[in-house]
Every structure is written in structure tokens, then in C-alpha cells.
Amino acid sequence: MSSNTIRLHRVLRAPPERVYRALLDADAMAKWLPPHGFTGKVHHLEAKVGGTYKMSFTNFTSGHSHSFGGEYLELVPNELVRHSDKFDDPNLPGEMQTTLTLKQVFCGTELSIVQEGIPSMIPPEACYLGWQESLTLLAQLIEAAVPD
């Protein structure tokens, strides 16, 4: 595994149950995970330990797409999601591991993310930028109080 690791932290105005659901729901992931300028498609998702997922991001401007997927390694409802990630592109070798930890706080949920093993070809600042955009979209999705 590459030694490239990034760490992010965010407090969200939503209960852990809603955050956890957004991390494992295919439709939600397609809406919040692709950074600005990309669309996302979840090809399959089996949210259980040992289950797998496959997703792709498409650059809206160029139409260029890249896909990735992995396995769910650990799931603790409303507290933890840990999964592997691997790009299909042979130019981005290795397997990453992403750990998302949720903690209930008085104003919502504290979310901590650690992504390890990022391919050396990807600058860490690009990962930070992409995650910041994705987390803004996650907040917009889960913090909205939309009545039925």
C-alpha cells in the first residue's frame, strides 16, 4: 500500500443515522460523492461486510470516465464504514483503504475520514480538494429538512 494518506474532519448538522445512510445508499452516493464537474454512477453496491461496490465518475466537460470499486471491510451502524478502493485504471495501481468514523455530537455528527494508500500519481492536495467538494455536497443532501 502506498504511504500517501489524507485525513479530513467535518461536523454535519444531521444525526448519525442520516449520515450513515448517505454513505451506503447508491442513489445518495451518486449525488454527493462525485466532486464538482463530475457525474457519478453506482454500478452495484452490496452494503454488508464482505460486500462489494463499483462506481464511476465522468468528467462532464470532457466525457472521460474512470471507475473504481472495493469491498466493505467493517460496518458499524451509525458509527463506522471502512472499505477498500481500487481504480480500474492500471496507471493508478494499488489498493486504498477509506475509514469513515461518525460520532454523535450535540449539534449533529462529527465525521472523520482517513484515506490511506492513495496512488503516488495523485497529489494529496487534489484528494483534499475533491473530498472538500464531496463533503459540501453531502452536507447539502443530509442537512436539508425537506418535509414529506
Is the model's pLDDT at 24 over the cut of 70?
yes
pLDDT digits (tens, 9 = 90+) for 82-140: 999 999 998 888 999 999 999 999 999 999 999 999 998 999 999 999 999 999 999 99
Is the model's pLDDT at 2 over the cut of 70?
no
CA trace torsion 61, 134, 55, 144 (10° rounding): -110
Instruction: Please give the share of the chain, as a percent, with pLDDT higher than 90.
Output: 90
Residues 6+ apart with CB under 8 A from 132: 8
**pTM (two decimals):** 0.93
Q: What is the mean pLDDT of the chain?
A: 95
- Domains for the chain: give ranges and CATH numbers: 5-36+73-142 (3.30.530.20)
- HEC letters along 48-115: CCCCEEEEEEEECCCCCEEEEEEEEEEEECCCEEEEEEEECCCCCCCCEEEEEEEEEECCEEEEEEEE
